[in-house]
C-alpha cells in the first residue's frame, strides 16, 4: 500500500474529513477541535493520531497546547494519486472510442468515402 493510498484510506472517515477541513482554514489545538466537533476530546486525539501517522497533519508544541495543521504537500500527493486514476480513465475512454471506430470499419468493410 503506497503512502498516497494510505492517506486516501485515512480520509475515508467523515469525522477526519471535518478535521482536515477545519485545520485547512487555520491551525487548531485538540481542545478547540473537540469544541467544534460533536465528539469528545480523546476521540479527536485518536483521529489526529491516524492523520499524523499517514503524514496528513503536522503538530507543534505551543506552550501547554499542541497545534495541529495540515501538510499541503501530503494533500498534493493524494490529489496526484487521484489524478492518476482520472488520467488513466480518460485515456482508456479515448482508446475505447478509437476501437469502436475501427470496429465500425470492420462491421461495414466498405470504403466510407
Q: Which residues bind DNA (CB under 7 A)?
A: 12-13, 15-16, 29-32, 39-50, 59, 61, 63-66
- Cβ 37 to DNA, closest distance in Å? 8
**Residue with C-alpha cell 466537533?**
37
- Cβ 65 to a copy of itself, closest distance in Å? 16
CB closer to DNA out of 13 and 80: 13
92, 98, 100, 104: which one contacts a copy of itself (CB under 8 A)?
92
Question: Where are the strands (E) in the chain, listed by range?
Answer: 28-29, 57-62, 65-70
Residue 29 carries which DSSP code? E
Contact 57, 51 (CB under 8 A): yes
82, 98, 100, 104: which one contacts a copy of itself (CB under 8 A)?
82
**Residue with C-alpha cell 475501427?**
102
Amino acid at each position: 500500500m503506497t503512502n498516497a493510498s494510505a492517506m486516501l484510506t485515512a480520509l475515508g472517515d467523515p469525522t477526519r474529513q471535518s478535521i482536515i477541513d477545519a485545520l485547512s482554514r487555520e491551525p487548531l489545538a485538540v481542545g478547540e477541535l473537540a469544541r467544534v466537533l460533536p465528539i469528545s476530546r480523546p476521540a479527536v486525539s485518536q483521529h489526529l493520531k491516524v492523520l499524523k501517522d499517514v503524514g496528513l497533519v503536522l503538530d507543534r508544541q505551543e506552550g501547554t497546547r499542541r497545534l495541529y495543521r495540515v501538510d499541503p504537500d501530503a494533500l498534493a500527493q493524494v490529489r496526484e494519486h487521484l489524478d492518476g486514476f482520472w488520467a488513466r480513465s480518460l485515456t482508456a475512454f479515448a482508446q475505447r472510442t478509437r476501437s469502436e471506430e475501427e470496429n465500425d470499419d470492420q462491421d461495414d468493410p466498405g470504403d466510407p468515402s
